[in-house]
Amino acid sequence: MAGQVLVLNASYEPINVCSLQRAVVLVLKDKAEVIEQAARRLRSATSSHALPLVIRLVYYVKVPRNRSRRVSRRALFARDGFRCQYCGSRHDLTVDHVLPRSRGGESTWENTLTCCSGCNLRKADRTPDEAGMTPERTQRAPGPAVFITAAAGGRPPSWERYLSTI
Ligand SMILES: [Zn+2]
């Protein structure tokens, strides 16, 4: 997460994360402005620059709406708060297919959830109903904030007010 910068569209909508180096280049080329910066500054021999935490693109970038994003472990775990959806454990996390793959269950956002290996083993080739195991909530595709959090590997406080709007 250190060295990751949140990128906002010209409309202030968070769109992705980039490296600190890339953010500095965008700002120096006047393609973005610094919205939030660290208390310390980035110093070189001849100058000092703001150390960006959040930048905003000067020009609006068209981001496709409702683009379907593939299920990844990182984003799935982030969606589920890094907790097993059956017992709440935060250890040995893996991906469970609600309807097992062996029975035609697909790797979609609606059919996968975060599960500890113990629960995964116990559930085996059964549906939650058959196994008598109820997941915490219904599964659905997460919003953009989850993908940004997963890509960055965390969610620093300086990003919170921007991510909470999406
Ligand atoms: Zn579990």
Residues 82 and 60 in one domain: no
Range of the domain at 112: 73-131
User: Each residue of 90-115: pLDDT tens digit?
Assistant: 999 999 999 999 999 999 999 999 99
Residue 42: strand pairing partners: 49
Beta strand 112-116 with 93-97 is: antiparallel
Q: What is the DSSP code (8-state) at residue 53?
A: E
Within-domain flag for 138: no
Q: pLDDT: is 149 or 85 the higher one?
A: 85
Residues 78 and 57 in one domain: no
Residues 44 and 77 in one domain: no
Distance of CA 120 from the midpoint of ligand 1 (Å): 7
Distance of CA 80 from the midpoint of ligand 1 (Å): 12
User: Each residue of 18-60: pLDDT tens digit?
Assistant: 999 999 999 999 999 999 998 888 787 888 877 899 999 999 9
Please state, as a whole number, how many other Cβ atoms lie within 10 Å of the Cβ of residue 118.
Answer: 15
Distance of CA 135 from the midpoint of ligand 1 (Å): 10
Distance of CA 116 from the midpoint of ligand 1 (Å): 4
Chain length of the chain: 166
Distance of CA 112 from the midpoint of ligand 1 (Å): 14
Within-domain flag for 25: yes
Residues 55 and 80 in one domain: no
- Write out the two tokens for 101: 């793959």
Within-domain flag for 55: yes
Distance of CA 81 from the midpoint of ligand 1 (Å): 13
User: Each residue of 122-159: pLDDT tens digit?
Assistant: 999 999 999 999 998 778 888 888 888 888 888 899 99
Distance of CA 158 from the midpoint of ligand 1 (Å): 32
Distance of CA 151 from the midpoint of ligand 1 (Å): 25
Torsion on CA atoms 151, 152, 155, 160, rounded to nearest 10 = -80
Residue 32 zone, left/alpha/beta (φ > 0; ψ -120 to 50; rest): beta
Q: What is the DSSP code (8-state) at residue 52?
A: E
Within-domain flag for 137: no
Distance of CA 89 from the midpoint of ligand 1 (Å): 5
Q: How many folded domains does the chain comprise? A: 2
40's enclosing H/E stretch is strand 32-43
Distance of CA 71 from the midpoint of ligand 1 (Å): 20
Dihedral sign for Cα atoms in the order 85, 136, 70, 55: negative
